[in-house]
Structures are given as C-alpha cells and as structure tokens.
C-alpha cells in the first residue's frame, strides 16, 4: 500500500504523526510526507517534526502565506505532478486547513482515494474559511474518520454514505498521550508558577484591530491578578505591530511560538487557557484544564458538552466575568470523550488496510 500524508500547518503534524507511526509497523506499506509549507516558520514547523520523531518530508511545496484562493490554488498546482508521478493508493488529509481541501480536490479529479482524518466537525458558520474546507473535503473523501460521535451525525445528515464513516477517536490525543511524559521535563523560561495561558491566531479575531486592542487591555488588566503567558503566533504579532499595540505590564509575558513539548507543559500547568484554537479546546478537555474560547461557535461542541471548554464569544466583558469566576475557584468539571484514549491511529490503520484488502 502506497500512502501520502498531506501536512501544512502545526495541528496537521500532531495528527499525522501517530498515523504515520502506526502504518510504519505494517509490512508492505510505503509512506511519503508532503509538506505544503503553509506554516513555514521553523518554530511552527521544523521543530515539530523533530519532537514528533517524524521523517523529513520527502516533498516540500513551500507555498508560504497568501490569500485563501492563492494559497489553495498554488498547493493544487504544485501537488498535482507529485500525485501523477507517485500514484498513491491513499492520500491522507488532516483537519480543515487549505492544504487539506487543496489536496482533496487534486486527488478527486485524478481518481485517487482520499481519507479525511478529523472528518465531520462542524461549526455551522460558513463565514469561517475552515468550515468551507471541512464541507468540501468530507464530500470528496472516500473514507471519513471522525473524532467524536457528533461528527458521524453531521455526515449522515449531509448525505454521506454510512459505509464511508468510521468513528475512531481523536488522533490529536494520541500524540498528547505519547508526549506527556516528555513534556513533564519541560519548563519554558520566565514562566511564573501560576498563570493564564493565551493563544490567538484566527483572522476573525486578530485582524479586527479594535477588538484586538481591547483584548490586550483586558488581558493586561487581568494579569495584575494572575500572570498571563502569551506565545504569539506570527500573524498576531504582525497585527499588534501594525496597530502599535504594546504591553508594558510586567506580569504579561509575551514570547515567540514555542515547540510542542514546552507548549503542552504550559497547557498542563495553566490555571486557565484562553484561546481561539480548535485543537487546544480538545487538549485542555483531555488535560482537565479550564478553557475559555473567544469565539461565538465551535466545530468541537463535545468539548463544551462534555469537556472543560466554555464559549465566551468575542464579548470581553463575558471573558472578564468568566476569568473572575475561575480565580474564585469555580471551574467547569469535564469528562474525557469516548475513544480519546491514545489508540485512534491504530483504528484508522485497521480500516485502511481492510479497505485495501
């Protein structure tokens, strides 16, 4: 069996690593990694391959940043010759980034089978580019691997053949479980014993400079009660600089993006995590750490229904209220969802091998 894995952004690396490892243990399986270069900062890309013990990608398309249309088109243009030359049995795509939908479009037109890892997630907000990527990829895929049972229901409602749908659990948690013992040895520099951890990167948030300025003011005020640790995504840093937004509060710790192991340790020890990321909603649920998501919706509702996640929207007053509640000791208790057990990749491989038999 000849398999190509498509990765392009930080979450893809963490999702593909356990699947690559599980396939490596099977005879007569050839694997190649295609890195689209959607994330090209070394701290957002290269170091993840090192820490996850993944081989250097055989192909790097080096598309870099651009508009959604330009980036998607460039990935398609550069990926198509590789598919034609390699003729894989399966192309595995991960998550909801432009790399995922671009590779799926190329393969569907060439008659190459696609398996979507993390299928069926829906925010029901088509203003989000990721939602469009999810909808299109799921319609084009030949196998759909869902991380939670709501994903199955979404796909059935959209008319997907149930024979294609497989509830396997969350591969992101596979990586987290494997890395936790190593993460315990990490301690990023200049981090206080107690802190709130912040990540922001979504264009709908950081491109709104008025909102971003208000968010920074809110966090700076809160940091006087609990220090704030904020590894800054390159896009967010650009917006802060463009708007001349700065923080002088000594309890507000800004830092460059950090490697996965150090970041995992930061999550594990945080008193609260404030984020607009999808994957962090899942990781905090598994780690049982309170999470406040500054979005009006989530494609991972199980983290709200079962986990430790709470949607506070873009309402900064609601965020302040929730933070005060957590400081007072009132935190949401959550449970770990079904099949978030560190073995999702093994279930994926079993289905793939059966499909090829």
**pLDDT tens for residues 192-206?**
999 999 999 998 999
Whether residue 281 is contained in a domain is answered as yes
Measured between alpha carbons, how far is 311 from 318 in angstroms, rounded to an integer?
10
- More confident position, 56 or 287: 287
Query: How many other CB atoms are found less than 10 A from the CB of residue 69?
Result: 9
CATH number at residue 230: 3.40.50.2000
- On whether both 213 and 149 belong to a single domain, the answer is no
pTM of the model as a whole: 0.94
Both 78 and 22 in one domain: the answer is: yes
The reported pLDDT for the residue numbered 285 is 98
pLDDT tier for residue 243 given thresholds of 50, 70 and 90: confident
Across 255-268, average pLDDT: 91
Contact 219, 253 (CB under 8 A): no
Average pLDDT of span 117-146: 97
Quick one: average pLDDT of 295-322?
97
Residue 43 pLDDT: 52
Tens digits of residue pLDDT in 150-197: 999 999 999 999 999 999 999 999 999 999 999 988 877 778 999 999
Check whether residue 104 and residue 241 sit in a common domain.
Answer: no
50-74 per-position pLDDT tens digit: 888 888 899 999 998 889 999 999 9
Tokens 């950081």, residue?
Answer: 206
- 293 pLDDT more than 80: yes
> Do 160 and 206 share a domain, yes or no?
no
Q: Is 34 exposed, middle or buried (0-12, 13-18, 19+ CB in 10 A)?
A: buried
Establish if 333 belongs to a structural domain.
Answer: no
Which of the residues are catalytic?
201
> Do the domain assignments include residue 334?
no
Total count of domains within the chain: 2
Q: Which of 49, 55, 16, 113 minimizes the C-alpha distance to 259? A: 49
Question: What is the rounded end-to-end Cα distance, in angstroms, of the chain?
Answer: 10
Domain span holding position 158: 2-177+340-356
Residues 322 and 344 in one domain: no
- Determine the pLDDT at residue 40: 59
pLDDT, the chain, mean = 93
pLDDT of residue 242: 86
Do 350 and 253 share a structural domain?
no
Per-residue pLDDT reduced to its tens digit, 98-116: 999 999 999 999 999 999 9
The band of 259, judged by pLDDT with boundaries at 50, 70 and 90, is confident
Q: Is residue 262 part of a domain?
A: no
Pair (87, 129) in one structural domain: yes
């Amino acid at each position: 069996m000849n398999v190509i894995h498509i990765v392009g952004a930080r979450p893809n690396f963490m999702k593909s690593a356990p699947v690559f490892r599980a396939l490596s243990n099977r005879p007569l399986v050839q694997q190649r990694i295609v890195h689209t270069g959607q994330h090209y900062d070394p701290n957002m890309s290269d170091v993840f391959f090192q820490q996850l013990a993944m081989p250097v990608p055989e192909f790097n398309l080096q598309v870099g940043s651009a508009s959604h249309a330009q980036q998607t088109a460039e990935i398609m243009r550069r990926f198509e010759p590789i598919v034609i030359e390699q003729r894989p049995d399966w192309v595995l795509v991960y998550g909801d980034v432009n790399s995922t939908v671009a590779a799926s479009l190329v393969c569907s037109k060439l008659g190459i089978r696609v398996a979507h890892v993390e299928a069926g997630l829906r925010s029901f907000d088509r203003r989000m580019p990721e939602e469009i990527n999810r909808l299109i990829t799921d319609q084009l895929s030949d196998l759909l691997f869902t991380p939670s049972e709501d994903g199955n229901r979404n796909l059935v409602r959209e008319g997907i053949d149930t024979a294609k749908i497989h509830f396997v659990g969350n591969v992101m948690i596979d990586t987290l479980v494997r890395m936790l013992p190593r993460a315990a040895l990490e301690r990023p520099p200049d981090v206080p014993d107690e802190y709130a951890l912040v990540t922001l990167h979504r264009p709908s948030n950081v491109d709104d400079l008025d909102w971003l300025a208000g968010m920074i003011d809110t966090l700076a005020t809160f940091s006087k009660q609990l220090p704030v640790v904020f590894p800054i995504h390159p896009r967010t840093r650009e917006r802060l600089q463009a708007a001349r937004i700065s923080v002088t509060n000594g309890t507000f710790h800004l830092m460059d993006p950090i490697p996965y192991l150090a970041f995992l340790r930061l999550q594990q020890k945080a008193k609260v995590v404030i984020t607009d990321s999808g994957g962090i909603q899942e990781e905090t649920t598994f780690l049982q750490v309170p999470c406040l998501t500054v979005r009006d919706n989530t494609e991972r509702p199980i983290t709200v229904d079962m986990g430790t996640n709470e949607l506070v929207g873009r309402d900064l007053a609601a965020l302040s209220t929730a933070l005060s509640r957590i400081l007072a000791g009132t935190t949401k208790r959550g449970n770990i969802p079904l099949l978030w057990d560190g073995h999702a990749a093994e279930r994926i491989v079993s289905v793939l091998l059966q499909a090829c038999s």
